[in-house]
Amino acid sequence: MPLTSVSTTVDETNEGRVDIIVRELSETSRSQARGMIDHGCVMINGSPCKSVGTTVKPGDLVAVRYDKHQRYREKKRQWDDRTFEIVFEDEHIIVVNKSAGTLTVPTDRGEPNSLVDRVSIYLSYSKSKKEAFVVHRLDRETSGLLVFGKHEPIADLLIEQFKDRRPTRVFHAIVAGNVAEDEGTFESHLATGSNLDRYETRPGKDTDQAITHYKVVRRLAERESSHGEETTLIEAQLETSKRNQVRVQFANAGHPVLGDPRYKPKEATHARWHRKRMALHASTLGFFHPVSGEPVNFDTPLPSAMEKFVAGARGRSDRKA
């Protein structure tokens, strides 16, 4: 079967996305046009077009060579979003790895592109047209695992688990200084100030009990002794899930999280930590599936910024067995 060849030189009237031009040249559907691009039927200035999102400008030559009788199906694409990665998904829940710098939900100022908005946009493209319902949150400059319900009743069931302290939540953090004890527990009560900062105080009707179990993963000393700064990579398991509890408790112990702009920020600086984000990552999340009742557990590695920091230091061998 002979192939059909068509081409055009782009001008001001049709510049823009190449898939639209291919659709017009081939007089076919947009889906078929995108399939042609995926199957190597489209050339731009003599070179293969590799993406359906490619844009062309006046003077570019777009050429299409295809079989009129063939169905060119689009290749399945992974969802690409800088605010999150999909870790797990079924018809009831979605677990994502949030990027640092992303709000979980908008504040009263109504910021765009919050995580719940972005996940809802992703879900709106599915056949079921679901949306994301918030279960729990992470601070803006903290990365890591979050679960959303795809139905409000599912989210409510998960929220009840968090209230009952049933989920497993483990964070990794790089904190300032040398944490002396290999492991320990912080137990305190947190209140909220007028500026929304959290602080430790005596138990009261307006305070939240916060319990964090921690252990030292690695004590870090600088390869260049002139820096004179020590840090510690710690693992913190939350018995309670209260806002800012890891940040507040470690800061009050003299070991603020690197990059923390709120709790002891002057002590949270380091010569090699240049990121706007905090060195805090929600690495493990476990709970009971709200429909099946089966335990599910998810893990993510340290983000690259934290990995690079740890790799750039030398470990100390003084951790007790």
User: Are residues 100 and 54 both part of a single domain?
Assistant: no
Whether 199 and 191 have beta carbons less than 8 Å apart is answered as yes
Average pLDDT over residues 217-239: 84
Higher-confidence position of 247 and 110 = 247
Same domain, 24 and 172: no
Residue 75 lies in a domain: no
Are 221 and 173 contained in the same domain? yes
Q: Check whether residue 42 and residue 154 sit in a common domain.
A: no
| CA distance to 10, 54, 62, 173, per residue, from 14 (Å) | 6, 14, 11, 51
Whether residues 177 and 250 fall in one domain: yes
Q: Is residue 98 part of a domain?
A: yes
Q: Both 17 and 113 in a single domain? A: no
Q: Does any domain span residue 72?
A: no
Residue with tokens 């910021």: 111
Is residue 165 domain-shared with residue 303, that is, in the same domain?
Answer: yes
Residue 6: left if φ>0, alpha if ψ -120 to 50, beta else—which one?
beta
The answer as to whether 316 is a domain residue is: no
CA proximity to 26, closest of 55, 72, 64, 75: 64
Together in a domain, 14 and 154 = no
Judge if 48 and 91 occupy the same domain: no
* CATH number for the domain that contains residue 107: 3.30.2350.10
Angstrom CA distances, 306 to 142, 200, 288, 309, stand at 12, 28, 29, 5
pLDDT in tens, 90-145: 999 999 999 999 999 988 777 778 999 999 988 987 766 788 999 999 999 999 99
Q: Are residue 30 and residue 144 in the same domain, yes or no?
A: no
Per-residue pLDDT tens digits for 262-306: 999 999 999 999 888 999 999 999 999 999 999 999 999 999 999
**Domain span at 141:** 84-311
Tell whether the model's pLDDT for residue 227 goes beyond 60: no
CATH, residue 18: 3.10.290.10
DSSP string, 264-276: STTTT--TT---S
Assess if residue 239 is contained within a domain: yes
Question: Is 68 a residue whose pLDDT tops 80?
Answer: yes
How many separate domains does the chain show?
Answer: 2
Q: Are residues 89 and 195 in the same domain?
A: yes
Q: What is the end-to-end Cα distance of the chain in Å, rounded?
A: 73
Inside any domain, residue 79: no
State whether 45 and 129 are in the same domain: no
Dist. CA 284–CA 296, nearest whole Å? 11
